[in-house]
Amino acid sequence: MRTTTAPDAAETVAELVARQWGDHRPGLMYGAGAADSAGPTVLSRHRTAQEAAARAALLADLLPAGAEPHVGVLLDNTPEFPSWLGAAALAGAAVAGINPTRRGPELARDILHTDCRILVTEPAHLPLLRGLDLPGVRLLVTGTEEYAALLAPYADAEPGEARVRPGGPRPDTRLLLYFTSGSTGAPKAAVCSQGRLAAAGGSLARHFSVTPDDVHYVCMPLFHGNAVIADWLPALAAGAPVALRRRFSASAFLDDVRAYGATYFTYVGRAVQYLLATEPRPDDREHRLRLGFGTEAGAVDAARFAERFGVRLVEGYGATEGGASVQRCPGTPQGALGRAAPGDDLAVVDPETGRECPPARLDARGRLLNGDEAIGELVNRGRSLFEGYWRNPDAEAARTRHGWYWTGDLFFRDPEGFLYFAGRTDDRLRVDSENLAAAVIENVLARWEAAAAVAVYAVPDEVAGDQVMAALALREGAAFDPEAFAAFLAAQPDLGTKMAPRYVRILDELPVTATNKIHRVALRRAGFLGPGPVWHRTGGAYRPLGAEDLSALLAAYGAQGRRELLDR
């Protein structure tokens, strides 16, 4: 039976971690599905606080005098990750989540840029660090005898005993330095304070009525803000256990959910598409899941997910930076994310002129009819919770220019003020002098039954501007039928005359980043020159892009002096 007591508000995450002390209900689960495991390992809430307190004491002793209280964490979703999150909270330190898909100088740059004097990793990731110059960084390798020996003297530590600064953690104390997953330039480390994170966790716990009877399944990577802010923190605030998956696996998802008794999970990017692409099973609805919360699933996939698994997906919007937030509210139309959160003055503006875009015109089925003029960048003209980027004043200035917070995301707003996500500003295309948003085209293509996953991006036009290119991963057993695809496009009333893909690449699966978002940079770089069969549209019909076609196409680029654009 579910209890309904709302969690008390906490001023810091340290307070939430300390509340677990003496509570012997389940707090952390892991190991479900392991070949040598009879079932998941379960740690009590008291034990999780105990593990965090031990690491907080170790951290306080290991940090050099005068060093920034930052610890880098280069781990998969193992129990050590939440233990170090809790340790940093108790000690008044900050965790920098290090992305294990980064390599060489880029990986070293992330560690050194965030002033990490301690780096926690695991044996599986040691090859990533070989040959890197990391002056002044002490390496702690979990799962080793040396690591166990370091921790042993602190086994009896209690929350609040070890602090890296006098006075202990306060609401404005840094807790996270989380790298944003931008598509260009070096990643920026967003600063997240204990007070903001505690408030976010409590707010989500109340919004989704999270209780100790819930189990939060953490299958998205903990080095990314989604898993910590939207999954771990609301569970911590409500006294619910969390269940860990080392890395996301679509094929193991349902088995994990059943083994843990999970009721809630978060998703990002195309994880939902890959879940839908798994082979249907008669027991798809036999589980305790009641809710999935995330971004960029799309209305079509959300409906398919609910129909197949019986689970409601709730789309949300709130960047790790905290600069703007959209909240779902009663009456939110299908496809919309909601309205501005209290205190935010959100507007959709033309990024070139700064003028507010006109409201969207939607047909009876909610399809956008005036995307060219209605889509713009979402800005917050009022109060912002943005706390800056670590040692990156130029990026901060760009994000807060003219006194507004610029999200870098495209939206449109209907006449009632409901906001709809339309993609990243980097995903905007300009075709024949018209501005298009990749996400809007993707939402149309996602209706095609043969498509398991879709990505839309720009490739240079031979003469000027862009052309639309789509990468499609097909459902199992499906084949690309060019005539059926063209007929499908022709039947979509909200597919503008410039939106039909000029090029279509068929892939077994779409490339994704470590956070399960489509790797658009890789797709854009490959264009129509990369691997996989490519079809191109001529006269309204799609046909293979053969060697002769490609040669003629490249000659056209060369004649216009634009050949080099294909090599960027």
The pLDDT tens digits of the residues spanning 70-100 come to 999 999 999 999 999 999 999 999 999 999 9
Measuring CA to CA, how many Å separate 125 from each of 220, 233, 559?
A: 18, 26, 48
CA atoms of 529 and 534, how far apart (whole Å): 9
Q: Are residues 55 and 130 in the same domain?
A: yes
Q: Are residues 405 and 505 in the same domain?
A: no
Q: Are residues 20 and 164 in the same domain?
A: yes
Q: Are residues 528 and 485 in the same domain?
A: yes
Q: What is the pLDDT of residues 284-339, one digit of tens each?
A: 999 999 999 998 787 778 889 999 999 999 988 887 788 999 988 889 998 889 99
Beta strands (DSSP E) in 207-356 are 216-218, 242-244, 264-267, 291-294, 312-315, 317-318, 325-327, 339-340, 346-349
CA atoms of 290 and 261, how far apart (whole Å): 11
Q: Within 13 Å of residue 93, how many CA atoms lie on the same side as its CB?
A: 38
What is the average pLDDT score of the chain? 91
CA atoms of 140 and 150, how far apart (whole Å): 9
Q: Are residues 345 and 359 in the same domain?
A: yes
Quick check: 339 and 419 in contact, CB under 8 A? yes
Global pTM value = 0.82
Q: Is residue 508 part of a domain?
A: yes
Of 195, 221, 239, which marks where a domain is finished?
195
Of 362, 392, 427, which marks where a domain is finished?
427
Q: Is residue 469 part of a domain?
A: yes
Of 395, 427, 459, which marks where a domain is finished?
427
Q: Are residues 68 and 154 in the same domain?
A: yes
Q: Is residue 254 part of a domain?
A: no
Q: Is 153 strand, coil or helix? A: helix
DSSP H/E element including 54: helix 45-62
| Whole-number pLDDT of residue 225 | 87
Q: What is the CATH number of the domain that holds 388?
A: 2.30.38.10
Q: Is residue 307 part of a domain?
A: no
Per the structure, the complete domain to which residue 440 belongs is given by 432-567
Q: Are residues 422 and 462 in the same domain?
A: no
Q: Within 13 Å of residue 322, how many CA atoms lie on the same side as its CB?
A: 24
Q: Is residue 214 part of a domain?
A: no
Q: What is the pLDDT of residues 392-412, one digit of tens each?
A: 999 999 999 999 999 988 899
CA atoms of 414 and 358, how far apart (whole Å): 9
Q: Is the pLDDT of residue 4 over 60?
A: no
Q: Are residues 477 and 558 in the same domain?
A: yes
Q: Is residue 203 part of a domain?
A: no
Which pair of structure tokens corresponds to residue 40?
Answer: 């998941």
Q: Is the pLDDT of residue 511 over 60?
A: yes
Q: Where are the alpha helices (DSSP H) in 320-437?
A: 371-374, 393-399
Q: Is residue 414 part of a domain?
A: yes
DSSP-assigned letters across all residues of 176-200 = EEEE---SSSSPPEEEEEHHHHHHH
* Category of 283 on φ-ψ map: left (φ > 0), alpha (ψ -120 to 50) or beta: alpha
Q: What is the pLDDT of residues 148-160, one digit of tens each?
A: 999 999 999 999 9
Q: Are residues 449 and 400 in the same domain?
A: no
Q: Are residues 482 and 364 in the same domain?
A: no
Question: How many other CB atoms sit within 10 Å of the CB of residue 204?
Answer: 23
- How many domains in the chain? 3
Q: What is the CATH number of the domain that holds 489?
A: 3.30.300.30
Q: What is the pLDDT of residues 418-474, one digit of tens each?
A: 999 887 777 778 787 677 888 889 989 999 999 999 999 998 888 777 899 999 999
Q: Are residues 186 and 51 in the same domain?
A: yes
